[in-house]
Chain A
Amino acid sequence: MELGVPDIVKWFDFANKKIQHHKDYLSALDRPIGDGDHGINMARGCKEAINKIMTKNYAEPSEVIKDVAMALLAKVGGASGPLYGTAFLKMSMAVKGYEVLSLSTLANGMEAALAGLKQRGKSDIGEKTLIDVWSPMGDYISTGEISSDGLIELARDALETSKDTMATKGRAAYFKEKSIGHIDPGSASSFYIFEALAEVIKEKE
């Protein structure tokens, strides 16, 4: 399996559509344990990213990913801006120079993105953040043998697991044990991003 520029553009196109569609749901998730604007913020950032990448020609996937990162940095007002922005920026740097991304190149990109998330958020897995979804996704992709169904299933499991953990990072950490039982909004938007990736991969299976 290899992902070229059109596939990566499609990835973000699908992800954007999901985020726009679930905008209110993402904000609703953010209301009990945050500031209630995750859906609006993500929708604004993703729209900007899509507007940018749909009108440009790209030589390689890293350039698409970089433009997405910069749009998210500039347009998402909440914590998700610098977090997603950093993740995709690090990913783009890790896959720079490749016209198509093999699974192992994508795995390198995921590893760099995850390291960026941990550094930026001063966080790790199990703190009820988007890392809880990105980390198992990275592990799975790095096995070198993946399926679209496997990817979605694992992403859904990760989302469910993070529901039962207590937040120790981010705005939700102020709610301590009251955060248990709520789905983390960042994990939910990450789920849509990887569901979108799975759909791109499915078309190639």
Chain B
Amino acid sequence: MNFVGIVLVSHSSKVVEGLLDIIRQVIHDVPIAIAGGTDENEIGTNVEKIMSAITTANSGKGVLVLYDLGSAKMNAEVAVEMLDSIQIKIVDAPLVEGAYVAAVESNMRKTLDEVYEAVMKEF
């Protein structure tokens, strides 16, 4: 059975790599993909990286995107507009805590809207 996918977007790949480690200690089955840094792995975000992470994390039940700072959200929005065949939501929440809540909720086989609402309610 499918889970809602989660995408973690950060200006730094180290931030989302570390965050993924934290979540994976507890949650194993939820597809989580990361998009950290630019295409040259410098500090920044990259639309194509985010698009590819969304595609990877999607197992048919939609994808929730979390981000760190302003321009990460803008690039995530561009990515969402370009991937109109996948159900995607971007959530405004603290990246670390929000991602943890999202992973736990998704692991309970909740729908995308339910995971989104749970994260929103928490913060």
Contacts and interface: CB of A to CB of B under 8 A. Distances in A.
Do the two chains bind? yes
Interface of A: 35, 37, 41, 73-79, 81-83, 85-86, 120-121, 170-171
Given A35-B43, A37-B43, A74 B74 contact: no
Interface of B: 37-39, 42-48, 69-71, 74-75, 77-78
B43 A86 contact: no
A87 to B, nearest CB: 12
Given A37-B44, A81-B47, A75 B74 contact: no
B71 A82 contact: yes
Contacts of A41: 44
A82 B71 CA distance: 8
Contacts of B48: 74
20 contacts: A37-B44, A41-B44, A73-B75, A73-B78, A74-B39, A74-B46, A77-B37, A77-B38, A77-B43, A79-B74, A81-B44, A81-B45, A81-B46, A81-B47, A81-B75, A82-B47, A82-B77, A86-B78, A120-B77, A171-B69
A120 B70 contact: no
Given A37-B44, A73-B78, A78-B71, 8 more contacts: A77-B37, A77-B38, A77-B42, A79-B74, A82-B78, A86-B74, A120-B78, A121-B74
Given A74-B46, A77-B44, A171 B70 contact: yes
A81 B39 contact: no
Contacts of A78: 44, 71
